[in-house]
Structure 1
Amino acid sequence: MHLGAAPVLTAQDAFALRRSARAVADLLGADGQDAVRLATVLSELGRGLLGAERLTAAFDLLPGRPTALRVTLAWRGGHRLPDEALEASARLLPTCHEHGGGDGLVRVEQRLGPGPEPGPELVGQARELLAVHTGTSALEDSRAQTRDLIAALERTRAQREELRRLNRELEETNRGVLALYSELSEELEETNRGVVALYAELDEKSRQLREASEAKSRFWANVSHELRTPVNAVVGLAELLRADADAPPEERGRQLSLIADSGRTLLALVDELLDVAKAESGTLDPLWAPLDLRAVLAHLDGTLRGLARPGVELRIGPAPEVPGALLGDETMLVRILRNLLSNALKFTEHGSVELTTRVEEVRGEGPLLVMTVTDTGVGIPADQHERVFEEFYQVKGAHQRGRRGTGLGLPYARRLAEILGGTLRLDSAPGRGSTLTVRLPARPAPPPGPRRGVLVAVDDDPAFRDVLRPLLHEIAERVVETGDGAAALSVVRDARPDGIVLDLHLGDVDGYQVLAELRADPALRGTPVVVLTSASLTAADRARLSHARAVLPKSGLSGGRIAAALSAPRPAAPRRPPSSEEGS
């Protein structure tokens, strides 16, 4: 759509062209900077074409989205547009230059705003502006250009500030993105570590399941044989007795003796299995009492000497000289040594089996009771040292012929040693026998001494308090009783006793809570506590009772057992063997 045209013959016409172009561009919706840019380009081109013959400037409105304003400068004759003016114009706006036959043409286009195409009213106003196209003086044009330059500089400065602000925001955003990326990377790495750990745990669980399955298979293979042998003997001999009613008394007595022996073997095996189960579940507790080592060694010598093969000497050394008696669990100690000695006698065909006992001072640990069982048997390869302490495992070989067993002896002995706060170590090699060393804390038993001053008994069962009362009076001058767990702490603070006997299962405030409160009170923390219970305890229960000196069953109590338990130190945590050759 043609808007109008104007001649450009003088410098004043060039100034007027600049002013008209800006006014029309502003009117038709061009951005302020775009209007200045168009005016500047036409001013530059007009000055470069001054003197050209019949130079005119035509304004046209080009429809589209967006609408554009096109200005065409045309001239006649041989005048040429300076290259500098053309290059400067092309840097600001799209410029098209044509020249031929002595005539010239240059077009520039400026896009208007994003709004709708200008209506007839605006087009009419634009035409009126072009119709009154008049020249201005050079001074006025210079002032107008200066104003435009100042405005452009202000806009440039504002844009620069805005750009700086945007750069700061971008930098802040980048820092946030980097921090988020770092955090996500750490979380991903942590997740990956967790996944790796989970896979490792799953592999470990799978290995444990395989080992458990193998142990179960060994258990059924060994235990079924061990149980079937005495049961078959009992059944077979009983059938013989029933079938041969006329057998001589001597023969019948021999058969009855064999039945009794098989029954005792069966009972011992069942007891051993039950004890192993108790040790595994953490419900086997030591009963601390003064320990007579001489009596223990004499008992072992009397009961095991008959198990030695012809040509094998059983030597049990004397008990070490120690001041007074030691504190320990005689039953557990006998079971440990009996298992070690009977195992050594089973696999020793020539030579000797020897048990020596000594007390050894160890810096930082105090005195240790060291018991060593040495044999001249077949020996155990190094790669089997760990496995012989697995339940139901037996080293394969010709030495097993005629010597089957459950595979529980060594694992059970080690577990008992750990319960007593000690260790069991194996040193062996094929052809040179084996040495098994038990180290236990050598705790001196308290001397009988005077009776205790005051004991506090906490139990909510009046009938059991009647049973407990005379036992406590055997070892204390005064006994203070309470059946309320909530009031126990107040009673203890008032009485300041030499010891506390605490029932585990009370009312609203049970023995666990009472024990925890005693442990938390610095004034009462050192008071020895013995816990009494008739219930089975889980491993978690026992962990909560670690502050107690001992946990005793309510059945079979005596004043001496309670006194020994109150005098005992708290059992130390089981220590692991220091080398890879020691069992676990």
Structure 2
Amino acid sequence: MNAPSGPGPDSPAVHLGTTAVVTVQDTFALRRSARAVADLLGADGQDAVRLATALSELGRGLLGAGRLTAAFDLLPGPPAGLRVTLAWRGGHRLPAEALEASARLLSTHHEHGGGDGLVRVEQRLGHGPDPDPELVGRACDLLGAHTDGSALEDSRAQTRDLIAALEHTRAQREELRRLNSELEETNRGVLALYSELSEELEETNRGVVALYAELDEKSQQLREASEAKSRFWANVSHELRTPVNAVVGLAELLRADTEAPPEERCRQLSLIADSGRTLLALVDELLDVAKAESGTLDPLWAPLDLRAVLAHLDGTLRGLARPGVALRIGPAPELPEPLIGDETMLVRILRNLLSNALKFTEHGSVELTAAIEADRDGGPFLVLTVTDTGVGIPADQHERVFEEFYQVKGAHQRGRRGTGLGLPYARRLTEILGGTLRLDSAPGRGSALTVRLPARPAPPAGARRGVLVAVDDDPVFRDVLRPLLHEIAERVVEVHDGAAALAAVRDTRPDGIVLDLHLGDVDGDRILADLRADPALRQIPVVILTSASLTAADRARLSHARAVLPKSGLSAGRIAAALSAPRPAAPRRPPSPEEGS
């Protein structure tokens, strides 16, 4: 018999051979052949015995059946399987006890009809790949050499199988005893841990209760965020569509009406330009709010000329006042020396507050006053108050108007376009500068918005600090930084790596620290955290220098620093102003969108 090639994963069954079963000796030989072929093709020893025993029971039960044959087929895998089919002709019936015995050992399939019958058993050959062609060929040879056997030989073979099964059972019993011993030891350990785990579980349950409360709060925030998103699309799509429609419509009109008078064409072009400027202003406002909320907006501290700021606002906003509405700005308070601040951010705060007041004031006045006041601890504050005689805001809407895209509903909104971004943007910028923005308003008596900012005096021209510590691992940048620091300090201590920075700070107790963010093994944010944790070093002002773009998470870790400055465009004045700046306020929870502008 030629050996067939081994089966592949998608191959049909491979026929190994067929033997006739006529006499009792043939049943003995069938049992031995099945055991030998199963062993050869990789079946487990116990599985081979089960197959052989099942075929022996079926063969004895079918003795006397006409033309009884046993066909062996290799089923492709993985895992591969060995299938044996006993088929016969005539009206012989397979005894129920033989079928039941086989079914207890293996999956057994029985068919009978029209006077013929077959019974099929299958045995898996393991979990590995299919047997190779050489083994398949040897299995075919084994079946081809099918020989009769005696009852004595079969009895001896069954005795050997029984002895092997008993040995296997005894080994399993010993293993079970060992496992029971280990289980008892484990149980003792479990009982010892039970009380500890119970206590930890009780503590965890208390934490879960607190977590549920926090989750409820987060769920509310998510609902507010979802509402904010809806408001965002509703408001922004409307505000963007209006100038875009104007641009498109006027452009189409210009293209279609080629014979329009020059004056009319100029008027239409002017309207297109106005709509484009409106669109650009809206996009700029959206981008500014996004920067502020993402934490990527840093103040650029420098001496602040408050008189110049107020004069600029007066010149740019006076034309927005309605007829019959007086705009009064200033004067600036008398200051012995300039203040530290970010002029651009301050102008944006006040412009938003003033333009919002002018929009909703139909008669009366809009006024901006500035003063220096002391808080309860005696620290000076710059207080800027915008008051108007407009429609006013109900008390239950005072916090909502500081939510993005929210606008107080009412007849006063008709004909007044807005995104609902002005007040939240002003409040966020105020907080970035370390201050607060408060609203006092009631319907029919106008509104008052008060900005309070720390009034840090700018260092006098020529004023110098005693000692500065500069931490940077780049020798080239240290050469750039050194002359700038010597302009503002009597002594500069340079540290080349983060590991030595804290020791140098403790030794010198400097008047300020200029710290590179990205060092070697110990980065700037780690040094900043150590400074914040040490009560003796916590009050030393720190300015971070970096050339990298920072995420909101990065900036949250650096909140202890007075300022984060880019390495490009540094000057001695900017570093001095940053060291004198107030420490930024902790970021507040982002408001949910809805708000008056």
Query: TM-score band, normalised by the shorter chain?
Result: 0.5 to 0.7
Alignment correspondent of 1:202? 215
User: Does residue 359 in structure 1 map to residue 375 in structure 2?
Assistant: no
User: Does residue 418 in structure 1 map to residue 435 in structure 2?
Assistant: no
SS in 1 for 2:230: helix
220, 224, 227: which is aligned to 2:237? Answer: 224
Q: Which amino acid aligns with 2:245?
A: N
Distance in 1 between residues matched to 2:537 and 2:210, nearest whole Å? 43
Superposed, 1:31-42 pairs within 5 Å as none
SS in 2 for 1:208: helix
- Residues 463 and 431 (structure 1), Cα distance of their counterparts in 2 relative to 1, 3 Å cut: same
| 1:322-347 per-position Cα deviation (integer Å, ceiling 9, x unaligned) | 21111112112111111111111111
Q: CA deviation at 1:283?
A: 2.5
Moved more, 387-396 or 257-266: 257-266
Distance in 1 between residues matched to 2:418 and 2:468, nearest whole Å? 48
Q: Which amino acid aligns with 2:274?
A: D
Q: CA deviation at 1:224?
A: 1.3
The structure, 1 or 2, with the larger RCO (C-alpha pairs under 8 Å, 6+ apart) is: 2
Alignment correspondent of 1:370? 383
Alignment correspondent of 2:572? 559
Q: Which amino acid aligns with 2:311?
A: A
| 1:37-59 per-position Cα deviation (integer Å, ceiling 9, x unaligned) | xxxxxxxxxxxxxxxxxxxxxxx
Distance in 2 between residues matched to 1:451 and 1:459, nearest whole Å? 22
Superposed, 1:539-554 pairs within 5 Å as 539-554=552-567
Q: CA deviation at 1:533?
A: 1.9
| 1:118-145 per-position Cα deviation (integer Å, ceiling 9, x unaligned) | xxxxxxxxxxxxxxxxxxxxxxxxxxxx
Distance in 1 between residues matched to 2:587 and 2:526, nearest whole Å? 25
| 1:164-200 per-position Cα deviation (integer Å, ceiling 9, x unaligned) | xxxxxxxxxxxxxxxx999999888766655544443
Alignment correspondent of 2:313? 300
SS in 1 for 2:380: strand
Distance in 1 between residues matched to 2:340 and 2:521, nearest whole Å? 36
| 1:510-559 per-position Cα deviation (integer Å, ceiling 9, x unaligned) | 11233345556777665532101233434543343244221112344333
- Residues 392 and 473 (structure 1), Cα distance of their counterparts in 2 relative to 1, 3 Å cut: same
User: Does residue 404 in structure 1 map to residue 407 in structure 2?
Assistant: no
Alignment correspondent of 1:272? 285
Q: Is the 8 A contact 2:341 2:581 kept in 1?
A: no
Distance in 2 between residues matched to 1:509 and 1:192, nearest whole Å? 38
349, 356, 380: which is aligned to 1:336? Answer: 349
Q: CA deviation at 1:396?
A: 0.8
Q: Is the 8 A contact 2:456 2:580 kept in 1?
A: no
Alignment correspondent of 1:69? none
220, 234, 238: which is aligned to 2:247? Answer: 234
Percent identity between matched residues is 91
- Residues 459 and 444 (structure 1), Cα distance of their counterparts in 2 relative to 1, 3 Å cut: same
- Residues 255 and 460 (structure 1), Cα distance of their counterparts in 2 relative to 1, 3 Å cut: farther
SS in 2 for 1:530: strand
Superposed, 1:81-100 pairs within 5 Å as none
Q: Which amino acid aligns with 2:297?
A: L
Distance in 2 between residues matched to 1:355 and 1:219, nearest whole Å? 30
Distance in 2 between residues matched to 1:431 and 1:555, nearest whole Å? 51
Q: Is the 8 A contact 2:462 2:488 kept in 1?
A: no
| 1:407-436 per-position Cα deviation (integer Å, ceiling 9, x unaligned) | 111111112222222221111111221111
Distance in 1 between residues matched to 2:484 and 2:281, nearest whole Å? 33
User: Does residue 442 in structure 1 map to residue 455 in structure 2?
Assistant: yes
SS in 2 for 1:444: coil
211, 215, 218: which is aligned to 2:228? Answer: 215
Distance in 2 between residues matched to 1:491 and 1:306, nearest whole Å? 57
Q: CA deviation at 1:504?
A: 0.7
Moved more, 391-400 or 554-563: 554-563
- Residues 510 and 408 (structure 1), Cα distance of their counterparts in 2 relative to 1, 3 Å cut: same
Q: Is the 8 A contact 1:292 1:325 kept in 2?
A: yes
With the length of structure 1 as denominator, give the TM-score of the two structures. 0.60
- Residues 553 and 226 (structure 1), Cα distance of their counterparts in 2 relative to 1, 3 Å cut: farther
Q: Is the 8 A contact 1:455 1:479 kept in 2?
A: yes
Distance in 2 between residues matched to 1:521 and 1:362, nearest whole Å? 27
Q: Is the 8 A contact 2:559 2:586 kept in 1?
A: no
398, 405, 408: which is aligned to 1:385? Answer: 398
Distance in 2 between residues matched to 1:442 and 1:196, nearest whole Å? 44
Distance in 1 between residues matched to 2:392 and 2:232, nearest whole Å? 23
| 1:381-407 per-position Cα deviation (integer Å, ceiling 9, x unaligned) | 111111111111111111111112111
SS in 1 for 2:279: helix
| 1:341-388 per-position Cα deviation (integer Å, ceiling 9, x unaligned) | 111111111111111111122221522211111111111111111111
Alignment correspondent of 1:289? 302
Larger-Rg structure: 1
SS in 2 for 1:443: coil
Q: Which amino acid aligns with 2:276?
A: G
SS in 1 for 2:229: helix
Distance in 2 between residues matched to 1:473 and 1:448, nearest whole Å? 14
Alignment correspondent of 1:124? none
User: Does residue 318 in structure 1 map to residue 297 in structure 2?
Assistant: no
Q: Is the 8 A contact 1:421 1:574 kept in 2?
A: no
SS in 1 for 2:407: coil
Q: Is the 8 A contact 1:422 1:574 kept in 2?
A: no
- Residues 435 and 497 (structure 1), Cα distance of their counterparts in 2 relative to 1, 3 Å cut: closer
- Residues 233 and 475 (structure 1), Cα distance of their counterparts in 2 relative to 1, 3 Å cut: farther
Q: CA deviation at 1:447?
A: 0.9
Alignment correspondent of 1:56? none
SS in 2 for 1:310: coil
Q: CA RMSD in A?
A: 3.5
Q: Is the 8 A contact 1:278 1:284 kept in 2?
A: yes
Q: Is the 8 A contact 2:340 2:455 kept in 1?
A: yes
Q: CA deviation at 1:450?
A: 3.9
Distance in 2 between residues matched to 1:553 and 1:251, nearest whole Å? 50
Q: Is the 8 A contact 1:422 1:575 kept in 2?
A: no
Q: Which runs of 5+ in 2 are unaligned?
A: 1-192, 590-595
Q: Is the 8 A contact 1:420 1:574 kept in 2?
A: no
SS in 1 for 2:404: coil
Q: Is the 8 A contact 2:235 2:405 kept in 1?
A: yes
Distance in 2 between residues matched to 1:396 and 1:366, nearest whole Å? 40
Q: CA deviation at 1:238?
A: 3.9
Alignment correspondent of 1:505? 518
Moved more, 537-546 or 348-357: 537-546
SS in 1 for 2:368: strand
Q: Which amino acid aligns with 1:216?
A: K
Q: Is the 8 A contact 2:370 2:385 kept in 1?
A: yes
Distance in 1 between residues matched to 2:207 and 2:504, nearest whole Å? 50
User: Does residue 535 in structure 1 map to residue 551 in structure 2?
Assistant: no
Distance in 2 between residues matched to 1:455 and 1:363, nearest whole Å? 31
Alignment correspondent of 2:178? none
User: Does residue 458 in structure 1 map to residue 490 in structure 2?
Assistant: no
User: Does residue 428 in structure 1 map to residue 441 in structure 2?
Assistant: yes
Q: Is the 8 A contact 1:423 1:574 kept in 2?
A: no
Q: CA deviation at 1:255?
A: 4.2
With the length of structure 2 as denominator, give the TM-score of the two structures. 0.59
